[in-house]
């Protein structure tokens, strides 16, 4: 909220699996976005909305917790973008900042 990000939800994959009688380690997908970047990116190329909102995966493996995400720069190849470079770079930096701040708060 301090960064004026829109938080959508945390998908608890392990709890869904548990409802189906399967046990998997804690696995959570956090969905969020920067509304301004989202508007700019979709205005630049609507198909990029397929990769929105932004996602960060948090999971437990071998008693350690990991954080992972796809770098938005992948969208340049995925959507054959020749434009939108500044927006994608800003999204990439945002994800890195969010992850770094989460690690510091721990």
Confidence class for position 95, pLDDT limits 50, 70, 90: very high
Residues of the chain with pLDDT > 70, as a percent, come to: 95
- Which CATH number is associated with domain 6-101? 3.30.310.70
- Position of tokens 């989202």? 38
The 10s digit of each residue's pLDDT in 22-51 is: 999 999 999 999 999 999 999 999 999 999
CA dihedral 95, 96, 102, 104 (to 10 degrees): -160
Whether cis (ω within 30° of 0) applies to the bond prior to 53 is: yes
Name the residue ranges covered by the structural domains of the chain.
6-101
87 has a pLDDT exceeding 90: yes
CA dihedral 95, 98, 99, 101 (to 10 degrees): 150
- Position of tokens 């869904």? 16
């Amino acid at each position: 909220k301090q960064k004026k990000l829109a938080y959508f939800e945390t998908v608890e994959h392990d709890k869904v699996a548990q409802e189906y009688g399967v046990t998997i380690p804690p696995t959570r997908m956090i969905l969020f976005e920067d509304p301004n970047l989202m508007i700019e990116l979709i205005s630049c190329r609507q198909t990029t909305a397929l990769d929105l909102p932004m996602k960060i995966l948090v999971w437990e493996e071998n008693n350690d917790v990991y954080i992972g995400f796809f770098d938005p720069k992948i969208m340049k190849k995925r959507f054959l973008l020749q434009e939108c470079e500044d927006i994608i770079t800003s999204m990439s930096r945002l994800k890195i900042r969010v992850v770094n701040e989460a690690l510091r708060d721990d």
